Structure 1
Amino acid sequence: MKILVIGPSWVGDMMMSQSLYRTLRAEHPDAVIDVMAPAWCRPLLSRMPEVNQALAMPLGHGALALGERRRLGHALRASGYDRAYVLPNSFKSALVPFFAGIKRRTGWRGEMRYGVLNDVRVLDKAAFPLMVERYVALAYDQPVRSAQQLPQPLLWPQLRVDEEEKRMTAAQFALAAGRPIIGFCPGAEFGPAKRWPHYHYAALAEQLIAEGYQVVLFGSAKDRETGDAIVHSLSETAQAHCKNLAGDTQLEQAVILIAHCAAVVSNDSGLMHIAAALNRPLVALYGPSSPDFTPPLSHQARIIRLITGYHKVRKGDAAEGYHQSLIDIQPARVYQELSALLQPVQE
């Protein structure tokens, strides 16, 4: 059986979609699974053993581009796909499998997609509170009515990184071999309101470095300034053991280096989900965004959140745009959770 998946466009969503691929392979061991997604997803998809190949989706997130989607679909007709699974909920995301003439096209109803999808599932959000459950439910030929009907435990995301890759990439970025690495992911896509304050990260880094760790900061070029603020808040002695790699690594390199970390501290971000899929001890820090829908999927993850419910916040209500609920998470609390996770490693 040959399967085409139209994948999501966000790092966290892409990571959670691996649970669908793992479930499809469990249900259909002979399945060949290709995933069409933005080209930047390739470093993630290449580390998912269930995925045969990543097909680049050349169109932007908001572009209808009907003619181009028709062309893409027609180009896939010779590939012989038996089934398609469409994970985004938009009408346009279902067009390529439709134009490809794939016999069975499965997805949640979304934007009234009857016709372009012919196996349309109607979502009861209360019955599937987690995004990963909604993805996994699509894997079964007979519609699943609630998360309670899904086989347990769910097959959570698991990225593959080998030891030689870790060693070589750590050497490439001149990371000290004698100090275990604690990774910090201090950025967030929607700005400071979802970020733990840089001065809290700095206080935690100071303590960890004094105990013999090195701290490495991960993120995109947009997070470079936040990383610099953390480094500049450290004592001169500690700065020698804190490296800001935000914007200096490609996604593939960041994945490998996060896999090399003894533990990770992260805001609610795509890198948080990558750390969870690499099974790294992880402290995840939440403020206005909620872990109720997209938590880190790992038994090694600890979530710290001081408020309840979902708060649609794009700008924080305190100094420098931070949200008060994240300011209130003290470094001592994060250190306590991190120490508990590291204890088995130290023993």
Structure 2
Amino acid sequence: MKILVIGPSWVGDMMMSQSLYRTLKAQYPHAQIDVMAPQWCRPLLAKMPEVNAAIPMPLGHGALAIGERRQLGISLRNHNYDQAIVLPNSFKSALIPFFAKIAKRTGWRGEMRYGLLNDIRTLDKTAFPLMVQRYVALAYDKHTIHNATDIPEPILWPKLAVKQQEVIDAANTFNIDTSRPIIGFCAGAEFGPAKRWPHYHYATLAEQLISEKGYQVLLFGSQKDHEAGEDIKQSLTDTAREHCINLAGKTSLEQAVNLIASCQAVITNDSGLMHVAAALDKPLVALYGPSSPDFTPPLSNKAEVIRLISGYHKVRKGDGESGYHQSLIDIQPKLVIEALARLQIGFD
């Protein structure tokens, strides 16, 4: 059985999609699962044992480009896929399997995709409250899965495979002394300061972890998170600063994944790297403010979620000091230390 999955375009969504691949592989052990996704996803897909091949999606996130999608679909016809599963809900994401003439084309109805999909599902959001449930439901016959409680338990959570040599190579590249235990900070967030724990709280926590607990701190993120990392680092004492490395914007995604695998624990905002840390089975503390963990929580038994408000709150810059949301300002570093202690990683 050959299956083509049209994958998502965000780090967190791509991580959660692995639950679908694991579920398909459990049902069809000999299935060949190929995933079409943006080029940047390849490092993640390469660490998912269930995925046979990552097929680059050359078109931009917002491009309709019907002609180009038709050509991509035609180029896939000789792959002889038995089924396509389309994870994004957009009209354009269903075009390539249609042009590829894949016999069974599965997905949620989304943007009125009748005709493009012929195994179409109508989503009741209350019946499938978690994104991972919506992904995994597509692995089953639509007549057997009507709500999340119909999905066989347990759902197979994402689980990345990282080789020890990959960890060693990444550490050597950035001259990281792994003899000193590492705590990772994922201090960035896709929508800016309003979803970030304040840099001064991160700095207070880092100072305590380094000076009192004997850890070193690695700061992860993209180039746009580098400044936030510098704000954290420059808020430390000179002695503590020697054991804090700002890697935001300096690593590739693959290197970041490999280095997160070396961490004893991860402190993270609601971000894509949070889902990476969860899939690496790292003890993690996830800090939520206006965004809610109700739809896309970290999928891990080793995760502690800290959120001091309930419900969904619109993300607005200027809701708090320096653009930070007041609900995140209110999460004091002491709460994170207590959560780390509950995760039993050597804190008193």
- The TM-score range, normalised by the shorter chain, is over 0.9
Q: Distance in 2 between matches of 1:142 and 1:232?
A: 54
| d(CA) in 2 for partners of 1:213, 1:320 | 28
CA–CA distance in structure 1, aligned partners of residues 270 and 203 of structure 2: 18
> Within the alignment, does 1:327 sit opposite 2:329 as a pair?
yes
Alignment of 1:212-231 (within 5 A): 212-231=214-233
Q: TM-score, normalised by structure 2?
A: 0.98
1:295 aligns with 2:294: no
- Percent pairwise identity: 71
Deviations 1:80-125 (A, max 9, x none): 1000000000010000000000000000000110100000001110
TM-score with structure 1 length normalisation? 0.98
1:169 aligns with 2:173: no
Which of the numbers 278, 281, 286 marks the counterpart of 1:279? 281
- Show the counterpart of 1:7: 7
CA distance in 1, matches of 2:304, 2:45: 26
The answer as to whether partners of 2:121 and 2:142 remain within 8 angstroms in 1 is: no
Alignment match, 2:146: 145
Residue aligning to 1:34: 34
Q: Is the 8 A contact 2:137 2:151 kept in 1?
A: yes
Partner residue, 2:247 = 245
Question: 1:45 & 1:187 partners in 2: Cα distance?
Answer: 22
Structure 2 residue ranges without an equivalent (≥5): none
Partner secondary structure for residue 3 of structure 2: strand
- Counterpart CA distance in 2 for 1:332 and 1:151 is 39
Q: Is the 8 A contact 2:37 2:56 kept in 1?
A: yes
Asked if the contact 2:340/2:347 (under 8 Å) is kept, the reply is: no
Q: Would you say the 8 A contact 2:302–2:343 is kept in 1?
A: yes
SS of the residue 1:51 aligns to: coil
| CA RMSD after TM alignment | 1.1
Query: Any idea what the Cα deviations from partners look like across 1:146-199, whole Å, max 9, x if unmatched?
Result: 100101110000000011211221122111232100000000010000000000
Q: How far apart, CA to CA, are the structure 1 residues paired with 2:260 and 2:117?
A: 38
Q: Which amino acid aligns with 2:207?
A: E
Instruction: Quote how far apart the aligned CAs of 1:18 are.
Output: 0.3
The number of residues matched between the two structures is 346
Show structure 1 runs of 5+ residues with no match: none
SS in 1 for 2:52: strand
TM-aligned CA deviation for residue 342 of structure 1: 3.6
* Deviation >3 Å, runs of 4+: none
| Alpha-carbon distance between aligned partners in 1 of 2:280 and 2:178, rounded to the nearest angstrom | 20
Contact persistence 1:262–1:342 (CA under 8 A): no
Kindly provide the CA deviation profile for residues 202-226 of structure 1, in whole angstroms up to 9, marking residues without a partner as x: 0000000011100000000000000
State the SS of the aligned residue for 2:23. Answer: helix
